[in-house]
Amino acid sequence: MKAYLEIVKDIMERGVLKANRTGVGTYAISGALFEHNMSEGFPLLTTKRIPYRLISSELEFFIKGITDKKWLQDEKNHIWDEWCNPQKVKYGHDKETKAKMKEERDLGAIYGWQWRHFGADYNSFDTDYTNKGVDQLTNLVNQLKKNPNDRRMIVSAWNPKDLDKMALPPCHYQFQVTVINNKLDLMWSQRSVDVMLGLPFNIAGYATLLHLLAKETGLKEGKLTGFLGDTHIYENHIEGAKLQLRRAPYALPKLETNNFTSIFDWNYQDTSVDDYQHHDPIKFEIAV
């Protein structure tokens, strides 16, 4: 996926070392653009193996508006294990706090909850939020079907009122869809971009969302665009980045979804990646 590798190369050539809250320095650039036409294949990175099951199960978690990380853990997805609602356990780097954060199930008012209940009062992961707040995702789907030429089809996860209730303020904080020539395009905006570990997941996650919205509305799959803010590579990821730049990308795989009735009834097991050829995995440590 050349568009991704060009971003990696750009940071390696002109990234500036800067500090951040994690204590692990990053080489960063300000402002980058990712673009991909879905007709060229599904944008799952091939210069290392990406576990698509983790991406698709997290997307189902978001679509359903769930905030209990045990749901993910039950699906053998542990990408949210280290975080929790800061009102339950205040964020910290010490060993005792990290253990408490890992034990706490409640992630707070994160991504999917904002997609489905924006403006409601968040209490806990096991509260019934039925018909509470603004269901932005349902509104977007309805508008796509009723008036696909609308230019206001935006879903936001950035809610200043709830930032202190989120395990992590949203990195990818909004997405917009637009329809041109019967093709559904999706654009997402991201404030903070962990290029080596997070960005491949973000790309494939929003590509899957584009795919599902197209199936929901009968539209063709168009272009995926990411507007990236503080775009960075962690210091301890540099060697892995160099290795990926030495690898030649393979042809992109295909995405297949079976038994589809609605995006709201979709199960991640119904979607699979076919013909996925990739290089060996590269281990990157996560900065919490």
Helices (H), 218-262: 238-246
CA distance 113 to 71: 14
Is 171 labeled as catalytic in the residue annotation?
A: yes
Write the pLDDT tens digit of every residue in 161-176: 999 999 999 999 999 9
Write the pLDDT tens digit of every residue in 109-159: 999 999 999 999 999 999 999 999 999 999 999 999 999 999 999 999 999
Which pLDDT score, from 0 to 100, does residue 20 have?
A: 86
The partner residues of 17 in beta bridges, in order of sequence, read 27
Res 288 pLDDT > 70: no
Write the pLDDT tens digit of every residue in 43-60: 999 999 999 999 999 999
What is the DSSP-derived secondary structure letter of residue 197?
Answer: T
Q: Is 99 exposed, middle or buried (0-12, 13-18, 19+ CB in 10 A)?
A: exposed
Distances (CA, A) of 259 to 74, 123, 170: 23, 35, 31
Res 283 pLDDT > 90: no
Concatenate the DSSP letters of all residues of 133-158 into one string: SB-HHHHHHHHHHH-TT-S--EEE--
Q: Which of 109, 144, 171, 196 is catalytic?
A: 171
Question: Residue 285 — pLDDT band, cuts 50, 70, 90?
Answer: confident
* End-to-end CA separation in angstroms for the chain: 27
Please tell me the total number of residues recorded for the chain in this structure: 288
Res 24 pLDDT > 90: no
The pTM is what?
0.96
Give me the percent of the chain exceeding a pLDDT of 70: 100
Write the pLDDT tens digit of every residue in 174-206: 999 999 999 999 999 999 999 999 999 999 999
Question: Residue 91 — pLDDT band, cuts 50, 70, 90?
Answer: confident
Q: Using alpha carbons only, give the angle 272, 276, 279 rounded to the nearest 5 degrees.
A: 135
Res 3 pLDDT > 90: yes
Q: What is the mean pLDDT of residues 25-37?
A: 97
Q: Which residue has the tokens 């010490």?
A: 94
Write the pLDDT tens digit of every residue in 223-264: 999 999 999 999 999 999 999 999 999 999 999 999 999 999
Res 12 pLDDT > 90: yes
Hey, what domains does the chain have and what are their CATH numbers? 2-274 (3.30.572.10)
